[in-house]
Amino acid sequence: MNGRQVAAFAPAKINLALHVTGQRDDGYHLLDSLVMFADVGDTVRLSDAPEMSLEVTGPRAAGVPADRRNLCWKAAEAYGCAVAMTLDKHLPAAAGIGGGSSDAAAVLRAMEELYGRPAPVDPVTLGADVPVCMVGHAARMSGIGDHVLPLFMAPMYAVLVNPGVEVPTPAVFKALSRKDNPPMSEMPEGGGQAAALDWLGAQRNDLQDPAIALQPVIGDVLAALAELAGARLVRMSGSGATCFALFDDRPAADAAAAQMQQARPGWWSAACTLR
Ligand code: C5P
C-alpha cells in the first residue's frame, strides 16, 4: 500500500458567459461557454486505503453528504481504487460555481498523481462540468461540456456573491424559453483587458433570466453587485445562484468584497483572481 497523501485544490468555476445553443434528443443542452477558475475553492486530500471513506470538513461542510452520493466518492470509484478522502469545503453547494464538479476533478487529478496513471474514465460521465474542471484554467467549453478548448487569457479580478439559495440545474434548464440561442461571438485576440470586457459585455448567460424567475433574490444580488464602486460587468455564473462582478484590479475587488460583506453579512461573498 502507498502511504503517501496527495492534496488537490478544487477552484470555483466561473462561467463568464454561458450561451445555450440547442438541445440533444437525450435532453442535454448544447452550450458555448467561457470558463475561468478562481483562487477560492475546496481542497481534497487522499491516500490509498483498504476501503473507501470520506470526511467533509470546513466552513461549508454542513449538509454535504459524506458517502457515495458525493461526487468525490463517485470519482474515486470511477478511478477504480479505494482511498481515504478528506474534503475541506469552502464553496457553497448547488451554486453555479461547479463545487461538486471541481471536487470530482480534483479527486481524479490527485488519484492520477498518487497512482501515476491517467483516470480510466471519461470525466463527462461524472457531470457536464467535470471535463473543464480537469483543465482548471481559462477554457471555452462546448457540446454538453465534453468539448474543452484551453485558452491563454490574462487574469481577471472578481467578487463572487451567493445569497444562500440552492438552484437545481435541471429546473433552470427547464424554465429556459429558447434553447436555440446564438453562440458567443468571435473573441478578440488582442486589445488587453478593455477589449476583453467590451466583448464579454456583449455576451450572455442564457440561464440568468430563468434562474431569476425561479429565485428572484438573484436579481437582488445582481443589483447589489452593480452598485459596487468599480464594477465593470455583472452576471450570474452557471445555473446560479452565484453571481459575479468584474473589476480592473485585485485591490478594487478586495475593497468591493469588504463593502459587500458589510452590507450583506448573510450572503456568501469573496474577492478572487480568475485564471
Ligand atoms: O451533468 P450535471 O450533473 O452537472 O448536470 C445536471 C443537470 O443539468 C442534468 O441532469 C441536466 O438536466 C442539466 N444539464 C443539461 N445540459 C447540460 C448540462 C446539464 O441539460 N449541458
Nearest CA to ligand 1 atom 14: 28
Number of CB atoms found within 10 A of residue 135's CB: 17
CA distance 64 to 9: 18
The backbone torsions φ and ψ at residue 121, rounded to the nearest 5 degrees and listed phi first, read -150, 145
Q: Is the CB of 204 under 6 A from ligand 1?
A: no
**264 contact partners, CB below 8 Å, separation of at least 6:** 161, 224
Query: How many residues are there in the chain?
Result: 275
Q: Is the CB of 169 under 6 A from ligand 1?
A: yes
Atom of ligand 1 nearest to the CA of 101: 4
So what's the pLDDT on residue 191? 78
Atom of ligand 1 nearest to the CA of 124: 1
Instruction: Please pick, among 32, 88, 103, 129, the residue that the annotation labels catalytic.
Output: 129
Per-residue pLDDT 10s for the chain (275 aa) are 568 999 999 999 999 999 999 999 999 999 999 999 999 999 999 999 999 999 999 999 999 999 999 999 999 999 999 999 999 999 999 899 998 999 999 999 999 999 999 999 999 999 999 999 999 999 999 999 999 999 999 999 999 999 999 899 999 999 999 999 999 999 988 878 889 999 999 999 999 999 999 999 999 999 999 999 999 999 999 999 999 999 999 999 999 999 999 999 999 999 999 99
CA of residue 143 to ligand 1 center, whole Å: 12
Q: Which of 250, 249, 244 is nearest to 13 (CA)?
A: 244
CA distance 225 to 89: 24
CA distance 91 to 40: 8
CA of residue 165 to ligand 1 center, whole Å: 19
- Catalytic residue list contains 13: yes
Burial of 189 (0-12, 13-18, 19+ CB in 10 A): exposed
Cβ atoms of 250 and 235 closer than 8 Å: no
Q: Is the CB of 170 under 6 A from ligand 1?
A: yes
Give the SS3 label for residue 119. Answer: coil
pTM of the full predicted structure? Answer: 0.97
CA atoms within 13 A on the CB side of 268: 18
Helices first, then strands: H and E counts in the chain: 8, 10
CA distance 69 to 84: 16
Instruction: Please pick, among 13, 32, 42, 74, the residue that the annotation labels catalytic.
Output: 13
CA of residue 182 to ligand 1 center, whole Å: 19
Buried/exposed code over 206-235 (b: 16+ C-beta within 10 A; e: otherwise): bbbbbbbebbeebbbbbebbeebebbbbbb
So what's the pLDDT on residue 2? 66
So what's the pLDDT on residue 74? 98
CA distance 198 to 233: 9
So what's the pLDDT on residue 118? 96
Task: Tell me which residue has cell 480537469.
Answer: 134
Nearest CA to ligand 1 atom 12: 170
